[in-house]
Structure 1
Amino acid sequence: MLVGAVFPHAAVEPTTQDVRHFARAVEDLGYTHLLAYDHVLGADPEHHAPWDRAYDISSSFHELFVLFGFLAATTSLELVSGVLVLPQRQTALVAKQAAQVELLAPGRLRLGVGVGWNHVEYEALGQQFGARGRRMEEQITLLRRLWSEPVVTFHGDHDTVTAAGIRPRPARTIPIWLGGRSAPAYRRIGRLADGWIPEMQPGPELDDARAVIAQSAAEAGRDVAAIGMHARLPWTEDADELRAGFERWRAEGATHLSVNTLRSGPTTMSEHLDALTDAAAVLGPAPEHG
C-alpha cells in the first residue's frame, strides 16, 4: 500500500514558494503521491439557499492541470486528481491537458474523475447536470482513444470528433480512477475504471460498495483484483487511532492511501505539513508499508 498526502487546497492562499516547499517536504518525508481536489466555481450560499454543501464561494481550489504542471517540475511525486469533475469539461481539452501533464511527469499522472455534485458549476460551464453520469462513461472511452490513437473518429451522444487527434500523445494510456458514492457509480467502476477512490471508511458501506463493483466487473468480464483502491485516512493527533486506521485500510487491500489533513485542525500550509510530519513518524520514515 503506497501512502501519500492530500494537497491542502483550503489553506490560506499559498504562494508559489509555499506550494513548492510543501511538495518537496512531502516527498522528503517518504510519501509517494499527492492527491488534489477539484472545483472550478463556488456557489454563493445566500443566493442558492438552502445550501448545505461542504464548499461554496469562500472555498479556494487550484486549477488542477495548472497545479500539476507546476508540480511536475517541482517534485517526483505521483500526481493524482481526487477527483476531477469530468462531465462539466470539454473532453478533447481534458485529453490534451492530461497528456501534457503526463509528458511533463512521465508515468506520474493518475486521473481520478467523478460526476460532481455542484449544479451551479455545470450551468456556468455549459453542460447538463442531469446527463453527467452518462456523459462521463462516454468521455472515458473517448479519452482513452485520444491518448492511444493518432487519428480518432467518434460520434457519441455528447461528443463528436471527426478524423482528428492530439499531439504530442502520452507514451501510455493514462490510468483513469473513479470516485462516487452511489450504486450507479460502483457499477461504472466495475465496468470501466482502472481503480476507485472510496468516499467512506471501512465498514458495511464499503463492503456493500465492493460487492457491487465486483459483480459489475464480473459481468463485464474483468478481474476485480486488477481494480486498484485509493483510500483516504483522516489525520488525527491520536497516534494509535491513526495507526489503527492505516491497518484497517491495509487489511481491506487498499493499493494506495492518502493522509488527509483537511477539516482536521490545520489551516495553513505550514500546519498541514506539521501534521503530515507527525503522521509519517507514526506510519514509518518512508510510509510504503505492505
Structure 2
Amino acid sequence: MNVGLGLPISDPLSLLSWARRADAGPFTTLGLLDRLVYANPEPLVTLAAIAGATSRIRVQTEVLLGPLRQSALLAKQTATLDRVSGGRFTLGVGIGTRQDDYLAAGADVRRRGRRLDRQLTTLRRVWSGEPYSEEVGPIGPAPVQDGGPEILIGAFAPAALERVARWGDGYLCAAPVALADRLMRDVERFWTEAGRDGRPRMVAQVNVALGPESTVQDAKETITSYYGFLGDTTRVVENMLTTPERIRDAITAFTDLGADEVILYCWARDADQIDRLADVAV
C-alpha cells in the first residue's frame, strides 16, 4: 500500500523540514489543504517550495478550492508546479463549503459546482497546448505529465462524485472507512456509466496524531479550530486516529476497499510523527 502524509498547517516554517524527512522515508505523497480565510499557507506556493526541497516524493493539494481562483491563472500555476516538480504534482480539487472563503474571493458560493466544471474543462484544454479561447492563444508552460497533472476530485454528494468520471483521474475520499465503501462504489459506478476505461484511482485520507499526549492535544486543538465553523466538532475530533493499531487498521481497511493510497493527515506540529508513522506504514 502506498502511504502519504498530510502536512500540518499551523507552522509553515517547519514544512520544508517535514518534507525532507518524509522524502527520505517510505511515504509516497505530501498533501496540503486549502483555505482562504484561515492562517494556513497557500498550497500551490508552498508545494512549489517543497518540490524544490525534495527529489522523490509527490506533492498534492487536498483539496484545492478551484472556484476561488481565476481559471487561466490556475492552469498556468498548476502546469508550472508540475514542470518544476519534474511531474510529481497531483491536483486534488473540490469546491469547499465555507461561505467566507467565497466572500473573500468575490466568487458565488451557489454556483461553485458549475464553475468547477468549467474550470476542469479549461485546465485540460490549456494543459494540452490548445488556445485558451478564440481570442487568446495557448498558455504555457507545458506540464511534464502527458495530458497534464493527475486530477483527483474530493467530493461527497452524488453530483460531485459523478464529476470524477467526467473530468478526473481518480477520487480523493476524506471519509471514515464506514462511509468510504459506499462513496467509492458510487464513483466506480459513475465511471463505468461514463464509458471510462480501467478504474478510477482511489486515494483515502484519514486524520491522525501519533505521539505523546502533548502531540495529540495539539492536533485536537488545531483540528477543532479548523472545523470550528461546524459548531460541534466532537465527531471530527473523535474520528482522528491516535494509536498505531487504529492507524494500521485503517490502512488495511481502506486497502480492502480498493484504495490505491492512504494519506495520513497530520494536524500536530510534532515532526517526530514522521518516524512514528513510517514505522506504522511499512
TM-score (norm 1): 0.80
Rounded Cα–Cα distance in structure 2 between residues aligned with 1:24 and 1:211: 36
Structure 2, unpaired ranges of 5+? 209-240
Rounded Cα–Cα distance in structure 1 between residues aligned with 2:275 and 2:84: 28
Q: Secondary structure of the residue that 2:264 maps to in structure 1?
A: strand
Counterpart pick for 2:32 among 26, 29, 36: 36
Structure 1, unpaired ranges of 5+? 43-59, 154-160, 285-290
RMSD of aligned Cα (Å): 1.6
Rounded Cα–Cα distance in structure 1 between residues aligned with 2:117 and 2:187: 15
Q: CA, structure 1 residues 106+226, in 2 after alignment: closer, same or farther (shift >3 Å)?
A: farther
Q: How many residue pairs are counted as aligned between the two chains?
A: 247
Counterpart code for 2:108: Q
Determine the structure 2 residue equivalent to 1:177: 152
Q: Is the 8 A contact 1:233 1:246 kept in 2?
A: no
Counterpart code for 2:259: A
Q: Is the 8 A contact 1:5 1:33 kept in 2?
A: yes
Rounded Cα–Cα distance in structure 1 between residues aligned with 2:192 and 2:15: 42
Rounded Cα–Cα distance in structure 2 between residues aligned with 1:276 and 1:201: 22
Per-residue CA deviations over 1:136-179 (Å, capped at 9, x if unaligned) read: 111101101001124232xxxxxxx6332212221331111100
Structure 1 residue ranges (4+ consecutive) displaced by more than 6 angstroms after TM superposition: none
User: Equivalent residues in 2 for 1:1-290 (5 A)?
Assistant: 1-9=1-9, 11=10, 13-15=11-13, 18-42=14-38, 60-76=39-55, 77-153=57-133, 162-171=135-144, 172=146, 173-203=148-178, 205-223=179-197, 225-235=198-208, 236-262=241-267, 266=268, 268=269, 271=270, 273-284=271-282
Counterpart code for 1:279: L
Per-residue CA deviations over 1:1-25 (Å, capped at 9, x if unaligned) read: 311100101x2x332xx22211101
Structure 1 or 2: more helix by fraction? 2
Q: Secondary structure of the residue that 1:221 maps to in structure 2?
A: coil
Rounded Cα–Cα distance in structure 1 between residues aligned with 2:18 and 2:100: 31
Q: CA, structure 1 residues 121+234, in 2 after alignment: closer, same or farther (shift >3 Å)?
A: closer
Q: CA, structure 1 residues 283+211, in 2 after alignment: closer, same or farther (shift >3 Å)?
A: closer
Per-residue CA deviations over 1:24-73 (Å, capped at 9, x if unaligned) read: 0111222111000001224xxxxxxxxxxxxxxxxx21111110111121
Rounded Cα–Cα distance in structure 1 between residues aligned with 2:50 and 2:138: 26
Q: Secondary structure of the residue that 1:167 maps to in structure 2?
A: coil
Q: Is the 8 A contact 2:12 2:41 kept in 1?
A: no
State the shift of 1:237 in Å.
Answer: 4.3
State the shift of 1:192 in Å.
Answer: 2.1
Q: Is the 8 A contact 1:229 1:255 kept in 2?
A: yes
Rounded Cα–Cα distance in structure 2 between residues aligned with 1:112 and 1:278: 26
Rounded Cα–Cα distance in structure 1 between residues aligned with 2:84 and 2:63: 20
Counterpart code for 2:119: Q
Q: Is the 8 A contact 1:228 1:255 kept in 2?
A: yes
Rounded Cα–Cα distance in structure 2 between residues aligned with 1:261 and 1:20: 15
State the shift of 1:214 in Å.
Answer: 2.4
Q: Secondary structure of the residue that 2:20 maps to in structure 1?
A: helix
Determine the structure 1 residue equivalent to 2:229: none
Q: Is the 8 A contact 1:178 1:197 kept in 2?
A: yes
Counterpart code for 2:24: D
State the shift of 1:125 in Å.
Answer: 1.2
Rounded Cα–Cα distance in structure 2 between residues aligned with 1:91 and 1:39: 17
Counterpart code for 2:180: L
TM-score (norm 2): 0.82
Farther-moved stretch of structure 1 (94-103 vs 115-124): 115-124
Q: CA, structure 1 residues 137+248, in 2 after alignment: closer, same or farther (shift >3 Å)?
A: same
State the shift of 1:255 in Å.
Answer: 1.0
Q: Is the 8 A contact 1:26 1:276 kept in 2?
A: yes
